[in-house]
Amino acid sequence: MFRNFKMVSKVVFGRGCFDQLDEILSTQRADDDSIMIFLVDDVFDGKALIEKIPARGKDLIIPTNVDLEPKTGYIDELSDKIKDYMASFSGSLPPDSMPPDSMPPDFMPSGVIGIGGGSVMDIAKAVSLMLSNKGKAHEYQGWDLINNPAVWHMGVPTLSGTGSEVSRTTVLTGPEKKLGINSDYTVFDQILLDPELIADVPADQHFYTGMDCYIHCVESLTGSYLNAFSQSYGEKSLELCRDVFLKKPQDSDDKLMMASYFGGMSIAYSQVGICHALSYGLSFARGIHHGVGNCLAFDSLDEYYTEGVIEFREMMKKNKIQLPKDQVENFSDEEMETMTNVALVLEPLWENALGKDWKEIMTREKIKQLYSRMSE
Ligand code: NAD
Ligand code: ZN
């Protein structure tokens, strides 16, 4: 069976295109009373970008904190806050669960816009799903568990590499696992890619999130799920990453933004691999951020991604990056068990990397060895 996958419906790209946001949103506003919810990375509090957000009338800007990567509890909190806000105008809480187009307009915002890195974009996707689906976010971690379409939602990256802008998942840490809400309804309806928005990202963060993209490509291009669709996007993305991190051209930000998009498209029709499975464990047990966790894991995977790891080290050198190895020192037995459990839930990743018989190759002991190797 071939996957018939949903793609982002509309894309605007270009330096300064953020100025078009008002015009784009006006096509989604039914009337002057319709409400847009802007979830904005709180790193922009007091910065010029906030002033440029075209909020009108009863629109709500919610500063969104991503010191910790998105937790299901935070999604529930934000969704409840928005429902309460809507109820303050309509006088009663919305029905428990209903597709947005059958919900009375008073109860539903016209759109949810996430402005930030992978974390805020994922939060915007998850909140837009939870406004129209009953229960709690953690109940939907998995594949195709969502029943109702999401509220119209839009992503505006301010940091490039994760590919969250094009993916059909929102990666969340829940009480038991770090796992995405994967569904066709998760995909953004609109994205806005303005390279000017990533100009001021601190150098380390720029590298770690950029390497997320590089690793997506390496894992996709070396995986058993590879096909011409994924390969076409993956190769172009890899070429752009090489340009950005080895040659550092003038238009680096434009290129990285497109690399992220293409890298995301590549894994959409294949999968990531061992590095991501291990990185999810690191993030769950120690709260290590995705890009950093990927770099720490990838640096110890010579055995599986030999050429990729050599090139990654060249990129680290060129960009003067020192990995924070202290974050992966002295794992307790309990942490080892937890990380191994989290990593093993991600079966498609292992199968992509190692083939159908991966369970014979990747034992619990082997996974623990790989975690131990990271601090060397
Ligand atoms: P992030 O969104 O967690 O942000 C990292 C830091 O950069 C934060 O402190 C943030 O405030 C700051 N930041 C963001 N934009 C900035 C800017 N323009 N200037 C200065 N600082 C800025 O980082 P990320 O690497 O983009 O995203 C990681 C998250 O994405 C993880 O939660 C990961 O699980 C998720 N992810 C999702 C997908 C997907 O397909 N949905 C894929 C990969 C990763
Ligand atoms: Zn990733």
**Domain assignments of the chain as residue spans, ordered by start:** 10-198, 203-373
Coil, strand or helix: which one is 11? strand
The ligand 1 atom at the shortest distance from the C-alpha of residue 120 is 2
Among the residues of 222-251, which ranges form H helices? 228-242
Q: List the alpha helices (DSSP H) in the chain.
A: 21-26, 48-52, 72-90, 118-130, 203-221, 228-242, 252-268, 274-286, 290-298, 306-318, 333-345, 347-354, 358-361, 364-373
- Among protein residues, the one with the nearest Cα to ligand 1's atom 39 is 164
> Could you give the CA distance from residue 303 to residue 219 in angstroms, rounded to a whole number?
13
Secondary structure element (H or E) that encloses residue 354, with its range:
helix 347-354
pLDDT digits over 89-112, tens only? 876 666 666 676 666 656 789 999
Question: Can you give the pLDDT of all 376 residues of the chain as single tens digits?
Answer: 788 989 999 999 999 999 999 999 999 998 888 999 999 999 999 999 999 999 999 999 999 999 999 999 999 999 999 999 998 887 666 666 667 666 665 678 999 999 999 999 999 999 999 999 999 999 999 999 999 999 999 999 999 999 999 999 999 999 988 889 999 999 999 999 999 999 999 999 999 999 999 999 999 999 999 999 999 999 999 999 999 999 999 999 999 999 999 999 999 999 999 999 999 999 999 999 999 999 999 999 999 999 999 999 999 999 999 999 999 999 999 999 999 999 999 999 999 999 999 999 999 999 999 999 999 8
The reported pTM is 0.96
Residue 345, burial from CB neighbour count under 10 angstroms (0-12, 13-18, 19+): middle
Distance CA 77, CA 73 (A): 6
DSSP per residue over 169-229, as a string?
--EEE-SS-EEEEE-GGGS-SEEEE-GGGGTT--HHHHHHHHHHHHHHHHHHHTSTT--HH
Nearest-5° Cα angle at 254, 253 to 255: 90
Report, at the CATH architecture level, how domain 10-198 is classified. Answer: 3-Layer(aba) Sandwich (3.40)
**Tell me, what's the pLDDT at 29?**
94
CA-closest residue to ligand 1 atom 43: 162
The Å distance, Cα 197 to ligand 2 centre, comes to: 20
Topology, domain 203-373: Dehydroquinate synthase-like, alpha domain (1.20.1090)
| Nearest Cα residue to 117 out of 76, 70, 183, 52 | 70
246 within 8 A of 142, measured Cβ to Cβ: no
Residue 30 Cα to ligand 2 midpoint, Å, equals 36
Residue to mutate (ligand 1; options 8, 45, 123, 159; most atoms within 8 A of CB):
159
CA distance 293 to 215: 11
Q: How many CA atoms lie within 13 A of 360 on its CB side?
A: 3
Residue 209 near ligand 1, beta carbon < 6 Å: yes
For atom 5 of ligand 1, which residue has the closest CA?
117
- The sign of the dihedral angle between the CA atoms of 155, 353, 324, 237 is negative
Instruction: Please name the residue whose Cα sits nearest to atom 2 of ligand 1.
Output: 117
In contact, 272 and 293? CB cutoff 8 Å: no
Q: What is the pLDDT of residues 127-163, one digit of tens each?
A: 999 999 999 999 999 999 999 999 999 999 999 999 9
Pocket test for ligand 1, best of 7, 171, 197 (most atoms within 8 A of CB): 171
Q: How far is the CA of 41 from the centre of ligand 2 (A)?
A: 19
Give yes or no for residue 169 CB within 6 A of ligand 1. yes
Residue indicated by tokens 């840490």? 173
70 in ligand 1 pocket by Cβ < 6 Å? yes
